[in-house]
Structure 1
Amino acid sequence: MKFFQTIFVFINLVFFTGVIALTLSLNGAFYYLNLLFVIAISLFLLFVCLIFDLFKTKKRKVWFASIVGVALLLTSIAPLQHHYKMSIATVDAEIEVSTYQPFTAQNKVVKNNKKASLQLEEPLPRLDGATAMYPLYAAFVEATYPKKDYYYANSEVKVSRTPEAYQNLIEGDVDIIFAAAPSDSQVKYAEINGLTFDMTPIGREAFVFFVHHKNRVENLSLEQVKQIYAGEITNWRDVGGDNDTIRAFQRPADSGSQSTLEKLMGDTPIMEAPAEDVASGMGGIIHEVSQYRNYKNAIGYTFRYYSTEMVGNKEIQLLSIDGIEPTKENIRNGTYPLTSEFYAVTTGTENPNVQKFIDWIVSPEGQALVEKVGYVPVENF
């Protein structure tokens, strides 16, 4: 009879443990699995001891409780670490691109004060670009395109991340993209397809580094930045901060900001980042991976407009570089050392309106709109 009771308990525990384990796995909660298995095994052993009356002495009970307690404590470490991580405040960095979709009600697109001199008709240039560029070229569209629905995912005016935008351009799915300069691999991919990039500068932007707002470090030299991302400086105390390890986040290869970091580093190799320290989207670098958790020892990088105009989060502070703050005025006068141009990029197209559109963007009228959106124009007007 006791044997059948034991089999019954075993089958039920295996069934329910399997169901719970499958549910946890499907929800990505793998950190609970070891704890779940220890609980299941402990319950099975408890029922066996009760069925066979093995708890005859207090000593046995103490030994059982001690062993189970230690096992539960050890397997609770991973879930506790996860919940601690989740308790760290996130920086609200992901933007809702739909709020910049042209010609939608109450969108955030910057409007021209008067009707633009260029009013495009079919065939309309097909546009794509980096997330940080979307508010800008959405403003271009509202100024010059006919009013209709330009759904950001699958219309003539869509928005992707930089790698996807370059790929769409190379594959001929779009006519113009708005982005930072391409990476070496993107240039090679274009060459493989018999294409070269025609890059028209349309504005200037600052490449910025940011830290937690409570970090005492407010300035880094360009050399210190390079040493941090080369893995040569690993503690904040070495640059005037607290005695704490530097957690240096990176972006995936071919993203606009990662390509900019690579150009900044030059021949200095960038250290290999742990997987969880590689952020996915533009917002991801101000979150962590897909969500950057605002660790007090973290440092990340992005572009000024995205961090100040689109995100505007008060939980981070932008660092000055070599004592120069990344303000619009310092970008304009060229004193901020990490200033670069961003581009309207093409690879050749038969659409007659593409060059008209680009010519308007670099005209005083178009450059005035660049300024009004919040970027620094490439031309003085």
Structure 2
Amino acid sequence: MSQKSETPALLLAFLITAGLLGGGAWWLTQKVGINPGAIFSSNSASSSSPNSVNQLPPGAKEFTQVQNVPEGLFSYGGSTTWAPIRGQVDPLLQTAQPNFRLRYVDPVSGPPGSTAGIRMLMRDELAFAQSSRPLTDQEYQQAEQRGMKLKQIPVAIDGLAVAVNPGLNIPGLTLEQLTAIYTGQVTNWRSLGGPNLPIQPLTRPITAGGTVELFSEQILKQKPFGPNVQLVPTTTEALRKLAASPGGIYFASAPEVVEQCTIKPIAIGRTANELVSPYQGALVPADQCPAQRNQLNTAVFQTGQYPLTRSLFVVVKQNGQTEEQAGEAYANLLLSAQGQELIAKAGFVPVR
């Protein structure tokens, strides 16, 4: 066959192949529910970590339909932010998959958290870990030095909410103002358009877990907390202090803050002209709570319009053993339709 007659045939074959590939991609997006834009977090680990975020597998509908769930008792642990998810998911998961038994384990010393859970995972104390922040390059390297690889699988989206005393009247804060407050550069609300009142910033210690670590990275830019910042051991105690401190301010996972009756979540913005509330609609007054409660503004977390968002990850140890299968199975259970519904019920934003 001559070169002239070969050219149209090759062109036709290329067009047919491209059409089939494009049609297949459209079918996956529309029918299977894969949303490529939803599987990457703006605060994920650097591109030098090839396994930083993994492609979401096609999800089952019910827990009972998830395949390759191993049998046995598996220890897991990590982020305290995950507590509402554990409360919603684990009882139903154990009923649906009774041979896949789970045991939450606290660290022997120090508070539980994302960092503690990842360290326990690398020491073979856990089958898999729950993290409210992406893995760091240092953690990838430490795992490799121990002869293993780590993989993180995103299963939910969360936001950090900032709350103040309900009597404090301010429209919101920019990220820059939040930085100035927690580094001690601004110490009076009058400097930010509020009353002449000392600011009392509250936080858990930097060692408390992923929430504080993420705040330190994104807001403080690794600078230390200011000398006027008061450390509290738990979010429960922080919210109690906040309710009693007229000039208080505190940050935590949005589901832990938004629906509370004794404090006031505030809008946060990249600039003063784009303040975004972590709750839906108008603020519910304290005297109408708990009959009514503020509801999480899941849409602005999912689109990234709210400036303080993050992904929640299942961290899996890639060692070819049962632990890896357990971690993969747990992630797949959470990525099922039933798992994503329970994640939403726990106050977080589903990834699919």
Superposition TM-score, scaled by structure 2 size:
0.63
Q: Is the 8 A contact 2:156 2:348 kept in 1?
A: yes
User: Structure 1, residues 30-81: CA drift from partner, whole Å, max 9, x if none?
Assistant: xxxxxxxxxxxxxxxxxxxxxxxxxxxxxxxxxxxxxxxxxxxxxxxxxxxx
Q: C-alpha distance in 1, partners of 2:203/2:63?
A: 42
Alignment of 1:198-277 (within 5 A): 198-254=151-207, 255-265=209-219, 267=221, 269-273=223-227, 277=230
Distance 1:230 1:115, change over 3 A: closer
SS at match of 1:169: helix
Distance 1:271 1:355, change over 3 A: closer
Residue in 2 aligned with 1:360? 333
1:266 is displaced (CA, Å) by: 5.8
SS at match of 2:235: coil
Distance 1:141 1:315, change over 3 A: closer
Identity, % of aligned pairs? 20
1:176 is displaced (CA, Å) by: 1.7
Distance 1:228 1:378, change over 3 A: same
Which of 315, 325, 330 is the matching residue for 2:262?
315
1:165 is displaced (CA, Å) by: 2.2
Q: C-alpha distance in 1, partners of 2:340/2:217?
A: 26
Equivalent residue letter for 1:236? W
**Pair 1:165-2:112 in alignment:** no
Q: C-alpha distance in 2, partners of 1:286/1:189?
A: 36
Q: C-alpha distance in 2, partners of 1:116/1:165?
A: 27
Q: C-alpha distance in 2, partners of 1:262/1:183?
A: 15
Paired residues, number: 256
Which of 98, 117, 128 is the matching residue for 2:65?
117
Q: Is the 8 A contact 1:248 1:299 kept in 2?
A: yes
Distance 1:185 1:271, change over 3 A: farther
Residue in 1 aligned with 2:130? 178
1:354 is displaced (CA, Å) by: 2.8
Distance 1:342 1:354, change over 3 A: closer
Q: C-alpha distance in 1, partners of 2:154/2:314?
A: 6
User: Structure 1, residues 129-153: CA drift from partner, whole Å, max 9, x if none?
Assistant: 3233123134333333345996755
Q: C-alpha distance in 2, partners of 1:253/1:140?
A: 28
Q: C-alpha distance in 2, partners of 1:114/1:355?
A: 16
Which of 302, 311, 319 is the matching residue for 2:252?
302
Distance 1:266 1:277, change over 3 A: closer
Q: C-alpha distance in 2, partners of 1:224/1:296?
A: 18
Distance 1:315 1:144, change over 3 A: closer
**Pair 1:375-2:322 in alignment:** no
Residue in 1 aligned with 2:277? 325
> Would you tell me which structure has more strand in proportion to its own residues?
2
Equivalent residue letter for 2:344? E
Alignment of 1:61-80 (within 5 A): none
SS at match of 2:238: coil
Equivalent residue letter for 1:216? N
Equivalent residue letter for 2:340? Q
Q: C-alpha distance in 1, partners of 2:206/2:146?
A: 20
Equivalent residue letter for 1:242? P
Q: Is the 8 A contact 1:279 1:287 kept in 2?
A: no
Q: C-alpha distance in 1, partners of 2:71/2:331?
A: 16
Distance 1:354 1:191, change over 3 A: closer
Q: Is the 8 A contact 2:163 2:257 kept in 1?
A: no
Equivalent residue letter for 2:199? I
Q: Is the 8 A contact 2:314 2:327 kept in 1?
A: no
Equivalent residue letter for 2:191? D
1:244 is displaced (CA, Å) by: 1.3
Which of 300, 304, 318 is the matching residue for 1:348?
318
Q: C-alpha distance in 2, partners of 1:286/1:197?
A: 35
State the superposition RMSD in angstroms: 3.1
Distance 1:195 1:242, change over 3 A: farther
SS at match of 1:204: strand
Distance 1:141 1:251, change over 3 A: same
Q: C-alpha distance in 2, partners of 1:279/1:186?
A: 28
5+ residue gaps in structure 1? 1-112
